[in-house]
Structure 1
Protein backbone atom coordinates (compact mmCIF):
# COMPACT_ATOMS: atom_id res chain seq x y z
CA UNK A 1 0.00 0.00 0.00
CA UNK A 2 1.50 3.32 -1.09
CA UNK A 3 0.48 6.34 0.97
CA UNK A 4 0.47 9.78 -0.63
CA UNK A 5 0.28 12.96 1.46
CA UNK A 6 -1.07 15.75 -0.73
CA UNK A 7 -0.15 19.14 0.75
CA UNK A 8 -1.42 22.42 -0.59
CA UNK A 9 1.03 25.31 -0.24
CA UNK A 10 0.54 27.73 2.64
CA UNK A 11 -1.32 30.98 2.26
CA UNK A 12 0.30 33.20 -0.35
CA UNK A 13 0.39 36.92 -1.00
CA UNK A 14 -1.92 36.32 -3.98
CA UNK A 15 -4.41 34.45 -1.77
CA UNK A 16 -4.73 37.40 0.59
CA UNK A 17 -5.01 39.84 -2.34
CA UNK A 18 -7.80 37.82 -3.96
CA UNK A 19 -5.74 37.30 -7.12
CA UNK A 20 -5.51 34.15 -9.25
CA UNK A 21 -1.74 33.66 -9.25
CA UNK A 22 -1.52 30.71 -11.62
CA UNK A 23 2.09 30.29 -12.69
CA UNK A 24 3.02 33.95 -12.18
CA UNK A 25 6.59 34.03 -10.84
CA UNK A 26 7.49 35.70 -7.57
CA UNK A 27 4.39 34.74 -5.60
CA UNK A 28 5.61 33.95 -2.07
CA UNK A 29 3.99 32.73 1.11
CA UNK A 30 2.85 35.53 3.37
CA UNK A 31 3.81 35.54 7.04
CA UNK A 32 0.81 33.42 8.02
CA UNK A 33 1.57 30.97 5.21
CA UNK A 34 5.14 30.52 6.41
CA UNK A 35 3.85 29.84 9.90
CA UNK A 36 1.39 27.30 8.48
CA UNK A 37 4.26 25.48 6.76
CA UNK A 38 6.29 25.31 9.98
CA UNK A 39 3.32 24.00 11.96
CA UNK A 40 2.52 21.37 9.33
CA UNK A 41 6.11 20.14 9.37
CA UNK A 42 5.90 19.82 13.16
CA UNK A 43 2.69 17.79 12.87
CA UNK A 44 4.35 15.45 10.40
CA UNK A 45 7.66 15.18 12.26
CA UNK A 46 7.15 11.53 13.22
CA UNK A 47 5.85 10.46 9.81
CA UNK A 48 8.60 8.81 7.77
CA UNK A 49 8.66 10.06 4.19
CA UNK A 50 10.44 8.27 1.37
CA UNK A 51 10.25 11.35 -0.85
CA UNK A 52 9.00 14.92 -1.00
CA UNK A 53 7.85 15.95 -4.46
CA UNK A 54 7.05 19.53 -5.25
CA UNK A 55 5.62 21.88 -7.82
CA UNK A 56 8.42 24.16 -9.05
CA UNK A 57 6.66 27.40 -8.03
CA UNK A 58 8.02 29.51 -5.17
CA UNK A 59 5.08 29.10 -2.82
CA UNK A 60 5.21 25.31 -2.94
CA UNK A 61 8.98 25.17 -2.51
CA UNK A 62 8.71 27.49 0.48
CA UNK A 63 6.05 25.20 1.99
CA UNK A 64 8.28 22.17 1.47
CA UNK A 65 11.34 23.72 3.11
CA UNK A 66 10.36 23.01 6.76
CA UNK A 67 9.51 19.40 5.86
CA UNK A 68 12.90 18.95 4.24
CA UNK A 69 14.83 20.71 7.02
CA UNK A 70 14.00 17.82 9.34
CA UNK A 71 14.74 15.24 6.62
CA UNK A 72 18.00 16.28 4.93
CA UNK A 73 18.51 12.83 3.38
CA UNK A 74 14.99 12.46 1.96
CA UNK A 75 14.62 12.38 -1.81
CA UNK A 76 13.42 15.78 -3.02
CA UNK A 77 12.40 16.45 -6.58
CA UNK A 78 10.60 19.21 -8.44
CA UNK A 79 7.99 17.71 -10.76
CA UNK A 80 6.32 19.92 -13.38
CA UNK A 81 3.35 17.57 -13.47
CA UNK A 82 2.35 18.82 -10.00
CA UNK A 83 2.58 22.49 -10.95
CA UNK A 84 -0.33 24.90 -10.90
CA UNK A 85 -2.89 24.96 -13.69
CA UNK A 86 -1.91 27.29 -16.51
CA UNK A 87 -4.79 29.75 -16.28
CA UNK A 88 -3.57 31.64 -19.34
CA UNK A 89 -4.91 35.18 -19.58
CA UNK A 90 -6.81 34.68 -16.33
CA UNK A 91 -3.51 34.64 -14.41
CA UNK A 92 -2.88 37.75 -12.34
CA UNK A 93 -6.50 38.90 -12.40
CA UNK A 94 -8.69 39.30 -9.34
CA UNK A 95 -11.21 36.59 -8.55
CA UNK A 96 -13.87 39.30 -8.36
CA UNK A 97 -13.30 40.30 -11.97
CA UNK A 98 -13.08 36.69 -13.16
CA UNK A 99 -16.46 35.90 -11.62
CA UNK A 100 -17.98 38.17 -14.29
CA UNK A 101 -16.56 36.08 -17.14
CA UNK A 102 -18.89 33.61 -18.92
CA UNK A 103 -16.27 30.87 -18.47
CA UNK A 104 -16.57 31.22 -14.69
CA UNK A 105 -19.90 29.36 -14.66
CA UNK A 106 -18.38 26.54 -16.73
CA UNK A 107 -15.50 26.24 -14.27
CA UNK A 108 -18.02 26.01 -11.44
CA UNK A 109 -20.60 23.67 -12.96
CA UNK A 110 -18.82 21.77 -15.76
CA UNK A 111 -15.07 21.92 -15.06
CA UNK A 112 -14.34 18.93 -17.30
CA UNK A 113 -15.19 21.22 -20.23
CA UNK A 114 -13.28 24.26 -18.93
CA UNK A 115 -10.24 25.38 -20.90
CA UNK A 116 -8.60 28.65 -19.93
CA UNK A 117 -7.85 31.18 -22.69
CA UNK A 118 -4.25 30.76 -23.89
CA UNK A 119 -3.82 28.27 -21.05
CA UNK A 120 -4.64 24.74 -19.98
CA UNK A 121 -7.82 22.75 -19.52
CA UNK A 122 -8.78 21.32 -16.15
CA UNK A 123 -9.05 17.91 -17.81
CA UNK A 124 -5.39 18.19 -18.80
CA UNK A 125 -4.46 19.18 -15.25
CA UNK A 126 -6.23 16.09 -13.93
CA UNK A 127 -4.61 13.79 -16.48
CA UNK A 128 -1.04 14.94 -15.79
CA UNK A 129 -1.42 15.01 -12.00
CA UNK A 130 -3.04 11.58 -11.71
CA UNK A 131 -0.46 10.13 -14.11
CA UNK A 132 2.33 11.61 -11.99
CA UNK A 133 0.99 10.02 -8.81
CA UNK A 134 0.68 6.64 -10.51
CA UNK A 135 4.22 6.83 -11.87
CA UNK A 136 5.67 7.80 -8.48
CA UNK A 137 3.71 4.99 -6.82
CA UNK A 138 5.37 2.54 -9.19
CA UNK A 139 8.81 4.09 -8.75
CA UNK A 140 8.78 4.29 -4.94
CA UNK A 141 7.03 0.96 -4.33
CA UNK A 142 4.00 -0.40 -2.55
CA UNK A 143 5.32 0.25 0.96
CA UNK A 144 6.29 3.88 0.40
CA UNK A 145 4.92 6.99 2.05
CA UNK A 146 5.63 10.23 0.26
CA UNK A 147 4.49 13.86 0.16
CA UNK A 148 3.41 15.96 -2.81
CA UNK A 149 3.41 19.73 -2.24
CA UNK A 150 1.14 21.24 -4.85
CA UNK A 151 -1.88 23.48 -5.53
CA UNK A 152 -5.61 23.47 -4.81
CA UNK A 153 -6.99 22.45 -8.19
CA UNK A 154 -4.25 19.85 -8.71
CA UNK A 155 -4.97 18.22 -5.35
CA UNK A 156 -8.72 18.36 -5.95
CA UNK A 157 -8.22 16.55 -9.26
CA UNK A 158 -6.11 13.79 -7.66
CA UNK A 159 -8.59 13.40 -4.79
CA UNK A 160 -11.55 13.30 -7.18
CA UNK A 161 -9.87 10.53 -9.16
CA UNK A 162 -9.18 8.56 -5.97
CA UNK A 163 -12.82 8.95 -4.91
CA UNK A 164 -14.07 7.80 -8.30
CA UNK A 165 -15.68 11.21 -8.85
CA UNK A 166 -16.20 12.68 -12.28
CA UNK A 167 -14.12 15.82 -12.74
CA UNK A 168 -17.36 17.80 -13.01
CA UNK A 169 -17.88 17.14 -9.29
CA UNK A 170 -14.44 18.19 -8.09
CA UNK A 171 -15.61 21.66 -7.05
CA UNK A 172 -17.42 19.91 -4.19
CA UNK A 173 -14.00 19.36 -2.59
CA UNK A 174 -12.46 22.08 -0.41
CA UNK A 175 -8.66 22.24 -0.24
CA UNK A 176 -7.44 24.99 2.09
CA UNK A 177 -3.92 26.44 2.30
CA UNK A 178 -1.47 24.05 3.96
CA UNK A 179 -4.14 21.37 4.27
CA UNK A 180 -3.38 17.66 4.17
CA UNK A 181 -5.23 15.20 1.94
CA UNK A 182 -4.14 11.57 2.20
CA UNK A 183 -4.71 8.75 -0.28
CA UNK A 184 -3.58 5.18 0.18
CA UNK A 185 -3.24 3.20 -3.07
CA UNK A 186 -3.92 -0.53 -3.01
CA UNK A 187 -3.66 -3.01 -5.84
CA UNK A 188 -7.39 -2.83 -6.50
CA UNK A 189 -8.38 0.76 -5.68
CA UNK A 190 -7.39 3.86 -3.70
CA UNK A 191 -8.67 4.61 -0.21
CA UNK A 192 -9.06 8.27 0.78
CA UNK A 193 -7.98 8.59 4.43
CA UNK A 194 -8.54 12.31 4.90
CA UNK A 195 -9.39 15.44 2.91
CA UNK A 196 -8.57 19.08 3.73
CA UNK A 197 -7.14 18.21 7.15
CA UNK A 198 -5.77 21.35 8.77
CA UNK A 199 -5.06 20.18 12.29
CA UNK A 200 -6.03 16.64 13.29
CA UNK A 201 -3.76 14.00 14.80
CA UNK A 202 -1.58 12.22 12.21
CA UNK A 203 -0.31 9.34 14.34
CA UNK A 204 -2.28 6.85 12.23
CA UNK A 205 0.02 7.69 9.32
CA UNK A 206 3.11 6.57 11.24
CA UNK A 207 2.30 2.90 10.83
CA UNK A 208 0.50 0.95 8.14
CA UNK A 209 -3.10 0.04 8.81
CA UNK A 210 -3.48 -3.74 9.07
CA UNK A 211 -6.62 -5.10 7.35
CA UNK A 212 -8.92 -6.99 9.68
CA UNK A 213 -9.73 -9.69 7.14
CA UNK A 214 -9.47 -10.52 3.47
CA UNK A 215 -6.77 -9.48 1.07
CA UNK A 216 -4.50 -6.52 1.77
CA UNK A 217 -6.39 -3.36 0.95
CA UNK A 218 -9.86 -4.84 1.44
CA UNK A 219 -12.33 -2.48 3.07
CA UNK A 220 -13.54 -3.83 6.44
CA UNK A 221 -17.21 -4.77 6.11
CA UNK A 222 -19.19 -2.72 8.61
CA UNK A 223 -16.50 -0.08 8.89
CA UNK A 224 -13.95 -1.75 11.16
CA UNK A 225 -12.38 -0.42 14.36
CA UNK A 226 -10.52 2.51 12.83
CA UNK A 227 -6.84 3.39 12.99
CA UNK A 228 -6.72 3.30 16.78
CA UNK A 229 -8.55 0.00 17.08
Structure 2
Protein backbone atom coordinates (compact mmCIF):
# COMPACT_ATOMS: atom_id res chain seq x y z
CA UNK A 1 0.00 0.00 0.00
CA UNK A 2 1.19 3.59 -0.49
CA UNK A 3 1.78 5.92 2.44
CA UNK A 4 0.01 9.29 2.46
CA UNK A 5 1.50 12.19 4.39
CA UNK A 6 -1.23 14.61 5.44
CA UNK A 7 0.44 18.02 5.69
CA UNK A 8 -1.39 21.04 7.05
CA UNK A 9 -0.45 24.41 5.57
CA UNK A 10 1.81 26.71 7.57
CA UNK A 11 0.52 29.56 9.73
CA UNK A 12 -1.27 32.45 8.04
CA UNK A 13 -1.95 36.02 9.06
CA UNK A 14 -5.56 34.97 9.67
CA UNK A 15 -4.42 32.16 11.99
CA UNK A 16 -2.25 34.59 13.94
CA UNK A 17 -5.14 37.07 14.27
CA UNK A 18 -7.69 34.44 15.27
CA UNK A 19 -9.80 34.83 12.13
CA UNK A 20 -11.66 31.95 10.50
CA UNK A 21 -10.33 32.39 6.96
CA UNK A 22 -12.36 29.63 5.33
CA UNK A 23 -12.20 29.81 1.56
CA UNK A 24 -11.41 33.51 1.35
CA UNK A 25 -8.95 34.41 -1.40
CA UNK A 26 -5.59 35.99 -0.69
CA UNK A 27 -4.91 34.31 2.66
CA UNK A 28 -1.20 33.55 2.52
CA UNK A 29 1.47 32.24 4.85
CA UNK A 30 2.99 34.78 7.20
CA UNK A 31 6.71 34.82 8.04
CA UNK A 32 6.27 32.13 10.70
CA UNK A 33 4.20 30.03 8.30
CA UNK A 34 6.87 30.23 5.61
CA UNK A 35 9.47 29.05 8.13
CA UNK A 36 7.17 26.20 9.19
CA UNK A 37 6.61 25.13 5.59
CA UNK A 38 10.36 25.19 4.92
CA UNK A 39 11.03 23.10 8.03
CA UNK A 40 8.44 20.51 6.98
CA UNK A 41 9.88 20.44 3.47
CA UNK A 42 13.32 19.76 4.96
CA UNK A 43 11.87 16.86 6.96
CA UNK A 44 10.57 15.35 3.73
CA UNK A 45 13.62 16.13 1.59
CA UNK A 46 15.06 12.61 1.82
CA UNK A 47 11.73 10.89 1.14
CA UNK A 48 11.16 10.39 -2.60
CA UNK A 49 7.59 11.58 -3.14
CA UNK A 50 5.68 10.29 -6.14
CA UNK A 51 2.82 12.82 -5.93
CA UNK A 52 1.94 16.07 -4.18
CA UNK A 53 -1.77 16.92 -4.09
CA UNK A 54 -2.96 20.22 -2.65
CA UNK A 55 -6.05 22.20 -1.80
CA UNK A 56 -6.45 25.07 -4.29
CA UNK A 57 -6.22 27.76 -1.60
CA UNK A 58 -3.08 29.90 -1.60
CA UNK A 59 -1.75 28.86 1.81
CA UNK A 60 -1.79 25.20 0.82
CA UNK A 61 -0.26 25.81 -2.60
CA UNK A 62 2.55 27.77 -0.96
CA UNK A 63 3.22 24.90 1.44
CA UNK A 64 3.09 22.34 -1.38
CA UNK A 65 5.57 24.40 -3.41
CA UNK A 66 7.98 24.48 -0.46
CA UNK A 67 7.80 20.67 -0.25
CA UNK A 68 8.39 20.15 -3.97
CA UNK A 69 11.23 22.67 -4.08
CA UNK A 70 13.26 20.45 -1.72
CA UNK A 71 12.54 17.22 -3.61
CA UNK A 72 15.83 16.73 -5.40
CA UNK A 73 16.62 13.04 -5.79
CA UNK A 74 18.96 11.44 -8.29
CA UNK A 75 16.48 8.63 -8.91
CA UNK A 76 13.53 10.81 -9.93
CA UNK A 77 12.39 14.30 -10.89
CA UNK A 78 10.37 16.27 -8.32
CA UNK A 79 6.67 15.39 -8.55
CA UNK A 80 4.24 17.85 -10.11
CA UNK A 81 1.75 19.64 -7.88
CA UNK A 82 -1.85 18.52 -8.46
CA UNK A 83 -4.56 20.94 -7.32
CA UNK A 84 -7.56 19.10 -5.86
CA UNK A 85 -10.82 20.84 -4.91
CA UNK A 86 -11.95 17.78 -2.96
CA UNK A 87 -9.64 18.70 -0.08
CA UNK A 88 -10.30 22.43 -0.07
CA UNK A 89 -11.28 24.09 3.19
CA UNK A 90 -14.71 23.55 4.71
CA UNK A 91 -17.30 26.06 3.50
CA UNK A 92 -18.00 27.91 6.74
CA UNK A 93 -20.63 30.09 5.09
CA UNK A 94 -21.51 33.14 7.18
CA UNK A 95 -18.82 32.24 9.72
CA UNK A 96 -16.07 32.88 7.17
CA UNK A 97 -13.98 35.94 7.99
CA UNK A 98 -15.27 36.17 11.56
CA UNK A 99 -13.13 36.33 14.67
CA UNK A 100 -13.05 33.07 16.62
CA UNK A 101 -13.67 34.85 19.93
CA UNK A 102 -16.92 36.24 18.47
CA UNK A 103 -17.94 32.89 16.99
CA UNK A 104 -17.50 31.29 20.42
CA UNK A 105 -20.59 33.25 21.49
CA UNK A 106 -22.76 31.86 18.67
CA UNK A 107 -25.50 29.39 19.62
CA UNK A 108 -24.02 26.86 17.17
CA UNK A 109 -20.58 26.89 18.81
CA UNK A 110 -21.26 24.28 21.54
CA UNK A 111 -22.58 21.87 18.91
CA UNK A 112 -19.45 22.39 16.79
CA UNK A 113 -17.47 21.33 19.86
CA UNK A 114 -19.55 18.37 21.03
CA UNK A 115 -21.71 17.15 18.14
CA UNK A 116 -20.04 18.21 14.87
CA UNK A 117 -21.79 15.48 12.89
CA UNK A 118 -25.04 17.49 13.25
CA UNK A 119 -23.52 20.86 12.29
CA UNK A 120 -24.23 22.73 9.08
CA UNK A 121 -22.66 26.17 8.99
CA UNK A 122 -25.19 28.91 8.18
CA UNK A 123 -25.04 29.44 4.43
CA UNK A 124 -22.28 26.86 4.15
CA UNK A 125 -21.36 23.18 4.34
CA UNK A 126 -22.06 20.49 6.91
CA UNK A 127 -19.09 18.95 8.66
CA UNK A 128 -20.39 15.51 7.68
CA UNK A 129 -20.32 16.48 3.99
CA UNK A 130 -16.83 17.92 4.46
CA UNK A 131 -15.62 14.63 5.92
CA UNK A 132 -17.28 12.53 3.22
CA UNK A 133 -15.71 14.45 0.34
CA UNK A 134 -12.30 14.68 2.00
CA UNK A 135 -12.04 10.98 2.81
CA UNK A 136 -13.31 9.98 -0.63
CA UNK A 137 -10.75 12.28 -2.28
CA UNK A 138 -7.80 10.98 -0.25
CA UNK A 139 -8.78 7.36 -0.87
CA UNK A 140 -9.24 8.01 -4.59
CA UNK A 141 -5.80 9.57 -4.94
CA UNK A 142 -4.25 6.83 -2.82
CA UNK A 143 -5.68 4.16 -5.12
CA UNK A 144 -4.43 6.06 -8.17
CA UNK A 145 -0.93 6.35 -6.65
CA UNK A 146 -0.82 2.60 -6.02
CA UNK A 147 -2.00 1.83 -9.54
CA UNK A 148 0.51 4.17 -11.17
CA UNK A 149 3.53 3.94 -8.86
CA UNK A 150 3.03 0.72 -6.92
CA UNK A 151 2.96 -0.27 -3.26
CA UNK A 152 5.55 1.14 -0.92
CA UNK A 153 5.50 4.60 -2.47
CA UNK A 154 4.91 7.83 -0.57
CA UNK A 155 2.76 10.82 -1.52
CA UNK A 156 1.66 14.06 0.12
CA UNK A 157 -1.73 15.74 0.51
CA UNK A 158 -1.55 19.38 1.66
CA UNK A 159 -4.79 20.52 3.23
CA UNK A 160 -6.43 22.27 6.18
CA UNK A 161 -6.82 21.53 9.88
CA UNK A 162 -10.45 20.38 9.89
CA UNK A 163 -9.95 18.44 6.66
CA UNK A 164 -7.02 16.48 8.07
CA UNK A 165 -8.76 15.94 11.42
CA UNK A 166 -11.76 14.50 9.59
CA UNK A 167 -9.59 12.17 7.49
CA UNK A 168 -7.71 11.00 10.60
CA UNK A 169 -10.95 10.41 12.49
CA UNK A 170 -12.18 8.19 9.66
CA UNK A 171 -8.88 6.29 9.53
CA UNK A 172 -8.99 5.78 13.30
CA UNK A 173 -12.56 4.49 13.14
CA UNK A 174 -13.76 7.41 15.25
CA UNK A 175 -17.22 8.94 14.97
CA UNK A 176 -17.11 12.47 13.58
CA UNK A 177 -18.44 13.69 16.94
CA UNK A 178 -15.04 12.82 18.40
CA UNK A 179 -12.88 14.53 15.79
CA UNK A 180 -12.33 17.60 17.97
CA UNK A 181 -10.14 15.37 20.15
CA UNK A 182 -7.53 15.37 17.36
CA UNK A 183 -4.99 18.18 17.12
CA UNK A 184 -3.41 19.16 13.79
CA UNK A 185 -0.95 22.04 14.03
CA UNK A 186 0.32 24.30 11.24
CA UNK A 187 2.74 22.50 8.87
CA UNK A 188 2.38 19.28 10.88
CA UNK A 189 2.69 15.87 9.22
CA UNK A 190 0.30 12.98 9.90
CA UNK A 191 0.85 9.58 8.29
CA UNK A 192 -1.82 7.12 7.09
CA UNK A 193 -1.77 3.92 5.05
CA UNK A 194 -4.91 2.35 3.58
CA UNK A 195 -4.36 -1.39 3.86
CA UNK A 196 -6.33 -4.35 2.57
CA UNK A 197 -8.12 -4.84 5.90
CA UNK A 198 -8.18 -1.39 7.51
CA UNK A 199 -6.48 2.00 7.49
CA UNK A 200 -3.30 2.23 9.55
CA UNK A 201 -2.52 5.51 11.32
CA UNK A 202 1.28 5.61 11.64
CA UNK A 203 1.61 9.09 13.18
CA UNK A 204 -0.40 12.23 13.87
CA UNK A 205 0.47 15.91 14.23
CA UNK A 206 4.26 15.51 14.07
CA UNK A 207 6.18 18.78 13.88
CA UNK A 208 9.82 17.70 14.05
CA UNK A 209 12.15 14.84 13.25
CA UNK A 210 13.66 13.36 10.11
CA UNK A 211 11.18 11.27 8.12
CA UNK A 212 13.77 9.32 6.12
CA UNK A 213 12.67 6.20 8.03
CA UNK A 214 9.62 6.12 5.75
CA UNK A 215 11.91 4.54 3.16
CA UNK A 216 12.11 1.47 5.43
CA UNK A 217 8.44 1.20 6.33
CA UNK A 218 7.46 -2.45 6.01
CA UNK A 219 4.81 -3.48 3.47
CA UNK A 220 1.31 -3.37 4.91
CA UNK A 221 -0.91 -6.32 5.64
CA UNK A 222 -2.09 -7.91 8.85
CA UNK A 223 -1.45 -5.90 12.02
CA UNK A 224 1.58 -7.28 13.90
CA UNK A 225 0.49 -8.85 17.19
CA UNK A 226 2.58 -7.34 19.97
CA UNK A 227 3.52 -4.26 17.97
CA UNK A 228 6.15 -5.57 15.56
CA UNK A 229 9.82 -4.65 15.16
CA UNK A 230 9.44 -1.19 13.67
CA UNK A 231 11.78 0.19 11.00
CA UNK A 232 15.53 -0.24 10.88
CA UNK A 233 16.07 3.39 11.81
CA UNK A 234 13.48 3.60 14.61
Match of 1:224 in 2: 228
Contact 2:49–2:78 (CA under 8 A) maintained in structure 1: no
Contact 2:53–2:81 (CA under 8 A) maintained in structure 1: yes
Q: Between Structure 1 and Structure 2, how many residues are aligned? A: 224
User: Residue by residue, what CA displacement relative to the aligned partner does 1:78-117 show, whole Å, maximum 9, x if unpaired?
Assistant: 0000100000000000000000001110100000001000
Contact 2:216–2:231 (CA under 8 A) maintained in structure 1: no
Post-superposition offset of 1:161: 0.5
1:179 is the counterpart of 2:184:
no
Structure 1 residue ranges without an equivalent (≥5)? 211-215
Match of 2:143 in 1: 138
Distance in 2 (CA, whole Å) between partners of 1:9 and 1:121 is 22
Mapping of residues 1-229 of structure 1, within 5 Å: 1-71=1-71, 73-141=78-146, 142-143=150-151, 144-210=153-219, 216-228=220-232
TM-score calculated relative to the size of structure 2? 0.92
Distance in 1 (CA, whole Å) between partners of 2:80 and 2:133 is 21
Distance in 1 (CA, whole Å) between partners of 2:143 and 2:65 is 25
The alignment partner of 2:82 has SS state of strand
Distance in 1 (CA, whole Å) between partners of 2:45 and 2:174 is 32
Contact 2:5–2:192 (CA under 8 A) maintained in structure 1: yes
Contact 2:118–2:128 (CA under 8 A) maintained in structure 1: yes
Moved over 4 A (4+): none
CA RMSD of aligned residues (A): 1.2
User: Residue by residue, what CA displacement relative to the aligned partner does 1:140-166 show, whole Å, maximum 9, x if unpaired?
Assistant: 115131100000000000000000000
Post-superposition offset of 1:227: 2.1
Distance in 2 (CA, whole Å) between partners of 1:176 and 1:134 is 22
Distance in 1 (CA, whole Å) between partners of 2:70 and 2:210 is 19
Contact 2:49–2:154 (CA under 8 A) maintained in structure 1: yes
